[in-house]
Structures are given as structure tokens and as C-alpha cells.
Chain A
Amino acid sequence: DVVMTQSPLSLPVTLGQPASITCRSSQSLVHTDGKTHLNWYQQRPGQSPRRLIYEVSNRDSGVPDRFSGSGSGTDFTLKIDWVEAEDFAIYYCMQGTHWPRTFGQGTKVEIK
């Protein structure tokens, strides 16, 4: 299985400051269809995961534009330009290129 490794696992951030999470895959996530199926999910306390980003850098509808995704091959990044109170949550990367779909361990963005 493709191993997804996130860092850091805990990220203390001050409100209004930027945040960045890295996700590294054990194999390239470029699919034979030419797309890179790397997604980012946000899970707030007591809620189910909500997808923020698909195919590396495409924001889902309703996702604030302070969230952005980038990367290629095996290295990917989720950036929050400035953290708001509602952004304190756990963030997961997930790959859909290789069977089976696999998730990172999660990064907890918490108040500094």
C-alpha cells in the first residue's frame, strides 16, 4: 500500500498567522489518466471529514480561498494563508491514485 506521511503531526498556530502542512507519498501519485489524485480533508471536532482540495490544487465549492494545495509526484503541501478560529482542526491527505486509497496520519492544527 502507498504510505502517506504527514508533517508535522501537531502544528501550533496563532490566529491570523499562516500554516503549512506537508504530505509525502511512498510512490508517485501521477495516475495513468494523467491526473494526480491527491486530496486534503479537514475534520473539526465531532464532525466527519470534509474535503477541501482534490487533484492537488482544486478547491471544493464553499472552501475559503485562504486554503491552497500544491505539489507534484510524491510531495504535496496544504497552506492556509491566515488561520481563523474555524480552521483549528485535524487535516488529512489522501491518495486515490493507487489501490487501496490511503490516508496520512493527520495533522492537528491547534491554537498557540
Chain B
Amino acid sequence: EVQLVESGGGLVQPGGSLRLSCVASGFTFGDYWMSWVRQSPGKGLEWVGNLNQDGSVKDYAESVKGRFTISRDNVKRTLFLQMDRLNVGDTALYYCARDDRSASMRPWGQGTLVTVSS
């Protein structure tokens, strides 16, 4: 069974940093592009970014470009999201998801909650 399990969320002050992790199982992790997507009550679902199989190609939404960095460790089957200079608008439930050839994501993990507040 394909599984994605996120961790690393929590409460952080504006301007702070957080690193999220997503551990994959049930498939050959290194064969797939992977994405991060976030969900907040105010903004709904928002694609954050993705990266290719070896981590050499990365793409980010404009709202996070220059502040967030996606990376991966294929040996540890883990996807990361380094979030710097966080602001209250980044408060959301963050999901990792596996990309497929149809330019969408399936499946998604259960999410990890990030709250940015003073």
C-alpha cells in the first residue's frame, strides 16, 4: 500500500523557520516527482511546489519562492520542505503528495499542521 506520512509541523513565530518531512513507503520513491500542497480555511487548496526524481529540477508557487526549499533523500525515501521567513499567511495544513503522469497528485499524506503566530 502506498503511504506518505508527514511530520515536523508546529507553532512558529513570524519570521521563523520550520522543516517538514514526508516519509514514503509502498512504492519506488526515487521513480516519482513529489509535491507539497497546503490547505488553509482562507485560501483553500494551494500547490506549493514539486521536484523531480533526483531533486535536480524544482518548481515553486510564487507565494513561497525564495522562502521555501524542497529537497529529497531517495535512500531514506523522504521528502523535505524547508520553510524560512514564515508569515501568518503560511498557516495551513501541509500535505505531501506523489505526482503522476497526468500532472496531478495521488495519493496524499494525512498532512502536518503549521501555525505561524506570535
**A contact set with B: CB distance below 8 Å:** 31, 35, 37, 39, 47-51, 54-55, 58, 60, 92, 94, 96-97, 99-103, 105-106
Contact = CB atoms under 8 A, between A and B. Distances in A.
B105 interface: yes
A51 B47 contact: no
A37 B103 contact: yes
A51 B104 CA distance: 9
B44 A35 contact: no
Contact of A49 (B45, B46, B102): B45
B95 to A, nearest CB: 6
B32 interface: no
30 contacts: A31-B103, A37-B102, A37-B104, A39-B102, A39-B104, A47-B110, A48-B109, A48-B110, A49-B45, A49-B108, A50-B106, A50-B108, A51-B106, A51-B107, A54-B102, A54-B106, A55-B102, A60-B106, A92-B44, A92-B45, A94-B45, A94-B104, A96-B102, A100-B62, A101-B103, A101-B104, A103-B45, A103-B46, A103-B47, A106-B45
A43 to B, nearest CB: 9
Residue in A47, A49, A58, A103 with the greatest tally of chain B CB atoms within 10 Å: A49
Contacts, number: 55
Instruction: Specify the main secondary structure of chain A where it touches its partner.
Output: loop
Contacts of B61: 100
Contact of B44 (A39, A55, A97, A105): A105
Residue in B59, B103, B109 with the greatest tally of chain A CB atoms within 10 Å: B103
A31 B112 CA distance: 33
Given A103-B44, A106-B44, A96 B110 contact: no
Given A35-B102, A37-B103, A48 B111 contact: yes
